[in-house]
Structure 1
Amino acid sequence: MTGNKIVVGVSGGVDSSVAALLLRDAGCEVIGLFMQNWADDGSGQCRAEDDRRDAVAVCGALGIPIRFRDFSKEYWEGVFQYFLAEYAAGRTPNPDVLCNREIKFKHFLDAAHELGADAIATGHYARVDQRMGTFRLLRAVDRSKDQSYFLHQLGQAQLAFTRFPLGELAKTRIREIAGAHGLRTAEKKDSTGICFIGERDFRSFLAQYLPAKEGELRTPEGLRIGAHCGVFYYTLGQREGLNIGGMRGRPQAPWFVVAKDVANNILYVDQGHDSPWLQSRNLRSETAHWIAGAPPAPQFPCTAQTRYRQPDEPCTVTVHDDGTLAVQFARAQRAVTPGQSLVLYDGEVCLGGAVIAATDAPVPGNCA
C-alpha cells in the first residue's frame, strides 16, 4: 500500500476521532466520512444527529475535510431485514457482524474508491498484517477491546485496503490522546448494544415489527409455570424478563431460558445458570467464511468464540464439502445460540467464522 490518501469512517466517537488524528499526524492525507445507517424513526432515541455534529467538530479541529453518505436504505435492506427475519425464526442474530460486511466494508469502501482513496481506516480495535502474500486479521493488542470477532467476515480485498490505527493501543491511551488534543469526544461515552435501538428497551423496539403473541412458559418436563409475550423476544441463557415468582416445591434459584418452540410459541425455562439443558459440546454451522479464502485444512484444531468477549475455547473443526462446519469443543459450552457467530482463531490470527445453525444441547420433546 503505497498511497497516503485515506478515508476514515468518523462516527462521532472517540475511537474514530483518534484514528483520524493518528493518520493525520503520520503524514497521511485524511478525509473523514460520516455514514448515516439508520433513518430517524421519530422515537427520540436516534443519536445520529448528535454523532454527526461531533464528527464535524472533530474533523474541524483536526483540519481535515468531511464527507457524508446516507446508507440507511442499504442498511435496511442488507442488515435490518435479515435481523427481523432471524428473530421471527426464533434465532438470535448479530447485526454488528453483518453491518461490517455489508455497510462499513462494502458501501463505505465503494464511497472511498469514488473519493480516490488509497485506503480506508476505522476505529476498530484489530490489526492487519501480510504474510507470504496473504493478508491476515489479527486480534488487537488490548484484548479487552479486541473487535476481530465482529470483523471475521472480511476478506482479502477488504483487508488489503484497510488500516486499523488503534490496533496496537490500549483504550485508556486513546482517551489520553483525545484529551491531550482537546477533542470533544475525549470523554464521550462508548456506544453499546445495537446501534439502531439505542437506549430504548429492546423488547419494546422489536414489538414494533414483531407484535407480541402470548404463549406458555414451561419447564423442560412440560409443566406450565407462567406466560410470556413471544418466544422471539428471548434468547438462550436469558434470565431477565421472565417474571417467574416463587413456586412451591422449587428452590429459590433464578430461571433461565433453555429452549424455544417457535412453531407452538412455547418458551422452556429451567433453574440454575449452568442448567444441563444449556450445555453442548458440538455445533453445526452454516457455510463458513475464510479470511484467507480457504480453510487451513479439512480438519484442524483451533480455538473458538461463540459470543463476543468469550474466553478462547479449544475445539476441533471439520469442514464439510458444502462449506458448513462441524465443531467439537474440548469441554461443554453454555447457551451456544443459533443465529450467533462462531469465530475461529489460531493464536492471534482470526481464521474466519460462520453463523451457528444448531447444537447438541438436550431439547425438550416438543422442540425436537
Structure 2
Amino acid sequence: MSENSHIKVIVGMSGGVDSSVSAYLLKQQGYQVEGLFMKNWEEDDNDEYCAAAEDLKDAQAVCDKLGIELHTVNFAAEYWDNVFEYFLAEYKAGRTPNPDIMCNKEIKFKAFLEFAAQALGADYIATGHYVRREKRGDKFVMCRGLDDNKDQSYFLYTLSHEHIAQTLFPVGDIAKPEVRRIAEEQDLITHDKKDSTGICFIGERKFKDFLQKFLPAQPGKIEDTDGNEVGEHEGLMYHTLGQRKGLLIGGMKEGSGEPWYVVDKDVDRNVLVVGQGKDHPRLYSNGLNANQLHWVDREGPKGTTRCTVKTRYRQEDISCTLLVGEDGMARVLFDEPQKAVTPGQSAVFYADEVCLGGGIIDSVIK
C-alpha cells in the first residue's frame, strides 16, 4: 500500500483538463482522492450561458472514469457577497478589478478549503493551478508554475503559507501540452476541451451587456489631453487604459492622424481622457502605489527591497524597487517607465521564482 493511502485529498474539479489531470495524478500517487464541483453563480433561466451544467457533466464523467466520488457544493451566496459585490463596487469607482483573484481568495482557498476540511474530512485540497509549493525552512512558499505560458501565481498572491501548506498543485511542475497528452492517454473527456476565458460569471457573453444589467451607465465627455472635447462615452466602466476599440471617435483630422487611445479616467468629472498614438506619454508611469497588501509569508518585505513586479497577467517581469511603508501602502518605482498600469488591477511581487505577495494598484506615479 502507498504511504499516501491514508491521506484524503479533495480536488476542486472545474470540468477542465487541468483539474482532471490533477485528480488522475493524485490517484496514481496513492492518495484517497475525491472531487468537489463548486457552483458559484446562479444563472437566469432564459440566459444563454449554461456552461456550468456542461462543466459539471464533464467533471462527473472524469470522476466516473477515474473511479472517484464527486461532491457538489453551491457557493453562489458567498460568491455574490465576497466577489461580485466587490467587482461592481470597483467598476462603480472607475477602477478595473480582477475578480479571479478575489474568487481565489474568498471561494477557492477559503470557502472550499473550509468545506473540504469540515464537511468532507480532507487532509489536503488540490487544484489544477499552475504553481508549485516548496518548503523553505519551516514555511511553504509558492513558486511560479514550470510552464511560463501558464504560470498562475499572479492570480494566487493572496494565499498565505498556511493555505499553501494545505494545498497540492499536481500540474504545477508540468507543461500544459504534457497535461493534455496525459489526459488523452487516459481517455479523459476533457483532454481537448479549450481553456476557459473570460470572467467566470460572465462566460463568453459580451461584457458590456452583462455590466449594464447591474450598473446604470453614466455617459459623459471624451476629452483630449489638452481638455478639448472630442466625443462622448457611454460610461467610464466600459473603458480601460490603453484601449483603442470602441471609442467611436476615429477619423478625426486634427492632431497627428494616429488612432486615439484611452490615457486616463477622470472619475470626479466623469471624463474619459484620450491621446493619439499607442505610445502616448500619458500612458506611461514611473511607478505605482498599492494597498490591500497580502504577503505569502504573512510578514512581507520590510523597508526597501529590490524585486520584480507584474502589473497584469502574462506580463514580462518588471525590475523595480519596493518600499513598504508603516501605513501598509507599497510604493513601487520601476527601473524603466511602464505602459497602461491600471488602478484596480493587482501588482504582484517576485524574488526570482518565488511569489512574495502583492496588492491592489491604487494610483500610478508619473
* Same fold, judged at TM 0.5 (above): yes
Counterpart of 1:107 in structure 2 is: 111
Counterpart of 1:209 in structure 2 is: 214
Residue 24 of structure 2 aligns to a residue in which SS? Answer: helix
Q: Structure 1 CA distance, aligned partners of 2:55 and 2:29?
A: 25
Q: Structure 2 CA distance, aligned partners of 1:270 and 1:249?
A: 12
Q: Structure 2 CA distance, aligned partners of 1:61 and 1:87?
A: 42
Counterpart of 1:47 in structure 2 is: 51
% identity of equivalent residues: 52
Q: Structure 2 CA distance, aligned partners of 1:250 and 1:280?
A: 23
| Partners of 1:287 and 1:322 within 8 A in 2 | no
Amino acid at match of 1:339: G
**Aligned residue among 278, 286, 289 for 1:284:** 289
Residues 145-181 of structure 1 deviation map (CA, whole Å, 9 limit, x = unaligned): 0000000000022111000000110100011111111
Residues 96-147 of structure 1 deviation map (CA, whole Å, 9 limit, x = unaligned): 1100000000000011102111100000000001111011000011011000
Residues 67-117 of structure 1 deviation map (CA, whole Å, 9 limit, x = unaligned): 000000000000000000000000010101100000000000011102111
**Aligned residue among 48, 67, 72 for 1:68:** 72
**Aligned residue among 145, 148, 169 for 2:150:** 145
Q: Structure 2 CA distance, aligned partners of 1:313 and 1:353?
A: 14
Residue 272 of structure 2 aligns to a residue in which SS? Answer: strand
Residues 283-335 of structure 1 deviation map (CA, whole Å, 9 limit, x = unaligned): 11113111011123321100000000110000001111021111101000101
| Partners of 1:287 and 1:325 within 8 A in 2 | no
User: In the TM superposition, what is the alpha-carbon distance from 1:215 to its structure 2 partner?
Assistant: 1.2
Structure 1 residues 1-16: aligned runs within 5 Å: 4-16=7-19
Moved over 3 A (4+): none
Residue 214 of structure 2 aligns to a residue in which SS? Answer: coil
Residues 179-200 of structure 1 deviation map (CA, whole Å, 9 limit, x = unaligned): 1111111111110111111111
Residue 72 of structure 2 aligns to a residue in which SS? Answer: strand
**Aligned residue among 311, 323, 326 for 1:321:** 326
Residue 111 of structure 2 aligns to a residue in which SS? Answer: helix
User: In the TM superposition, what is the alpha-carbon distance from 1:4 to its structure 2 partner?
Assistant: 2.0
State the superposition RMSD in angstroms. Answer: 1.2
Q: Structure 1 CA distance, aligned partners of 2:136 and 2:122?
A: 24
Q: Does 1:31 align with 2:68?
A: no
Residue 23 of structure 2 aligns to a residue in which SS? Answer: helix
TM-score, reference length from structure 2: 0.96
Q: Structure 2 CA distance, aligned partners of 1:355 and 1:58?
A: 37
Residue 236 of structure 1 aligns to a residue in which SS? Answer: coil
Residue 288 of structure 1 aligns to a residue in which SS? Answer: strand
Segments of structure 2 that go 5 or more residues without pairing to the other structure are none
Q: Does 1:344 align with 2:339?
A: no
Q: Structure 1 CA distance, aligned partners of 2:209 and 2:271?
A: 20
User: In the TM superposition, what is the alpha-carbon distance from 1:266 to its structure 2 partner?
Assistant: 1.0
TM-score, reference length from structure 1: 0.96
Q: Structure 1 CA distance, aligned partners of 2:269 and 2:323?
A: 34
Counterpart of 1:232 in structure 2 is: 237
